[in-house]
Amino acid sequence: MSRMGRKPIRLDSRVEVTVDGSEVTVKGPKGSLSLRLPGAISVRQEGGELLVSRSSDERTVRARHGMVRSLLEGMMVGVTEGFRKELELQGVGYRGQIKGGNIVSLSLGFSDPVEYAAPAEVSVTMPDPTHIVVEGISKHLVGQVAAIIRGFRPPDAYHGKGVRYAGEKVSLKEGKTVG
């Protein structure tokens, strides 16, 4: 069996898990998430733990076993604590602001500002004009929104300007040398 897949998931007292056939729903203080299970994977609740098992040793089923367990554990963390990604804008004149609800407007050196409407399930805030904070209960969605925002202007290899994750190290290339 998969080492990751057979590891039980401890349930938090604030979390309520409902297993309905191939649908698992996790409810907590921050919200609710659901996951549709692949055909050969099953989930059962025993006491204060959630156990993931598989029906066969076929290669694709083995591959999904640990993945489903990791997704369920991420759902548990998401509905209790939530997930957070921080981005930084590096460069002269690179700044942003929040317009309306979840619309991020970024000045990234292009002729027009770049605007992105974040999904309603994700909260995007800017504590100052050069820092962006993406928060939500879905690890996948938080990471996807952060990657989309970073993709507008990834860090430049020669100057380091652009949108980067907080704490990300960018190794700069050496420029042209004279003579």
Strand ranges (E), the chain: 9-10, 16-20, 23-28, 31-36, 41-46, 49-54, 83-90, 95-99, 103-107, 114-117, 122-128, 131-136, 162-165
Confidence of residue 2 (pLDDT cuts 50, 70, 90): low
Q: Hey, what are 173's tokens?
A: 């290339």
> What pTM was computed for the model?
0.88
Confidence of residue 70 (pLDDT cuts 50, 70, 90): very high
Q: Hey, what are 89's tokens?
A: 């804008």
pLDDT of residue 179: 61
Encoded amino acid at 112, one letter: D
The domains located in the chain, with CATH, are: 9-80 (3.90.930.12), 83-165 (3.90.930.12)
pLDDT of residue 120: 92
pLDDT (tens digit per residue) in 15-51: 999 999 889 999 999 999 999 998 889 999 888 899 9
Positive/negative CA dihedral, 173, 176, 178, 179: positive
The pLDDT of residue 90 is above 60: yes
The pLDDT of residue 59 is above 90: no
Answer for the pair 11, 17: CB distance below 8 angstroms, yes or no. yes
Could you give the CA distance from residue 176 to residue 170 in angstroms, rounded to a whole number?
Answer: 19
